[in-house]
A and B are shown apart, each in its own frame.
Chain A
């Protein structure tokens, strides 16, 4: 097995008496899509936040490309190649689609200390932004104010901004939410292609998408990973059926 791009080793986090993460060990291999599923309240968001750097685990480590990043901030992790998309869009809503994408490219350049020239006229940033927007299918909405986008389009823009970072690993929190059938298919196709550039840790409720895309699936229940394996393994696993997929066949 090759070295994982992203890894958590024995992460635990408690909020008072609530144990939100229990000794979570999980890894993301090059070229794969690793889906993280689990019922509501299983602690998926808490886990993602600890990997991305918004929350500090009580115990355990987060390893990104061989480096222990547990003590680093979100921004520092992003600079080391971790790109995240949000379930509830975190975008500059008053800005245009292009401005949001250019912001991503600016973050990737690591040099925001430019005070004089117009950001929209920086060819390097603009090109990276337009390429990313074309890949997610937002080329026609470049000049649209982000607040005027549909929920699905915001999801696409989230992915585009993540693309501009040229990351080593993606963490995507429900990229299919609100997309509709056609959009969902497009996004599935895009993620399918993306895994070759950087592996994806995918949190998703759309089971069709998860089963179509995932190389491996981990199931999180009450903060604990109860199973990790291929799509077929997970489908057959009796513990998973009981906890998550329900009784129906």
Chain B
């Protein structure tokens, strides 16, 4: 077992023990914090496919996070008001089923990522960052100005959505759902990184010329990576909305995009557990420092600065050293 695998296992154990301890000592707030960390980690796991593996610095991933959130908000609000979304030409009703909501969230955010990626990936570098930011902002202002689903005020959902056999309003049971999804996403990303597709995508980041010269289209590889990335972040958005039972345009804001990038940089770019560590640390700092001062972001910024300057591999990089070349 490599050192990084050991550290990753420890992090997973932490994500089991902390909520377990909180559940036994009856601290639902800690469970909710851990749930939030796991959901934000999931959003980061999604972005890490594009950013870490593909080298695509997207400053517009809030678009997918928000689309996931609004997929949940729109479906659930129609279900709670018994008002169908569409009557003609065919009937589409709202739903309170988490599984259906997740599917809709992933499909819609995947389609959005496909469209945004298809246009944005014609650029690179700073232009790519700017154009993804612009798309993100488009969604942000659209959500603010569309009154049907709350506009600026957002949309409240009174009861958490249903999952067969579980009481989702019970914090620990909702946490189990989120944890399983996060673990599954980590497992799939780990496989993806080592797969032929991952090899080609990672090589395209290091030398686009190389990948073109062996006959593969970097555009195609990156577009697919960007789409998969958007789908996972979209799923995280649906879970985040369900956690808060509230959706608002904030989910679409560029600060959200920036925070997801911060998780990855804090934890370690292209490291499997980078976004997990980053999101957990972010939540921890927000909880501890946020209690001391409203301006806790100053300390976060300082930490980020130190990591960018002195530890390019992020926290995983500090703990596990440079990534070992496998085989």
Contact = CB atoms under 8 A, between A and B. Distances in A.
Contact of A106 (B192, B200, B209, B326): B200
Nearest to B270: A94
Given A113-B197, A116-B195, A104 B202 contact: no
A96 B195 contact: no
Contacts of A95: 199, 202-203, 206, 325
B320 to A, nearest CB: 16
Contact of B196 (A73, A76, A100, A122): A122
A106 B191 CA distance: 17
Given A90-B207, A116-B191, A99 B199 contact: yes
Contacts of A16: none
Interface in A88-133: 90-96, 98-100, 102-104, 106-108, 110-120, 122, 125
B106 to A, nearest CB: 16
Contact of A118 (B194, B200, B202, B217): B194
A92 B207 contact: yes
B216 interface: yes
B195 A73 contact: no
Contacts of B325: 95-96, 99, 143, 145
Interface in B213-234: 213-218, 221, 224
A74 interface: yes
Interface string A157-191: 00001001100000000000000000000000000
A79 interface: yes
B83 interface: no
A79 B218 CA distance: 14
Given A96-B327, A143-B327, A119 B214 contact: no
Contacts of A100: 203, 210
A75 B212 contact: yes
A102 B195 CA distance: 11
Interface residues of B, number: 28
Contacts of B214: 78, 103-104, 106-108, 161, 164-165
Contacts of A90: 207, 209-210, 213
A44 interface: no
B206 A114 contact: no
Given A114-B195, A116-B195, A119-B198, A78 B212 contact: yes
Interface of A: 52, 54, 73-76, 78-79, 83-84, 86, 90-96, 98-100, 102-104, 106-108, 110-120, 122, 125, 143, 145, 161, 164-165
Interface of B: 191-192, 194-200, 202-203, 206-207, 209-218, 221, 224, 325-327
13 contacts: A73-B217, A75-B215, A75-B217, A86-B209, A92-B206, A92-B210, A95-B202, A95-B206, A103-B199, A107-B211, A117-B191, A120-B327, A143-B325
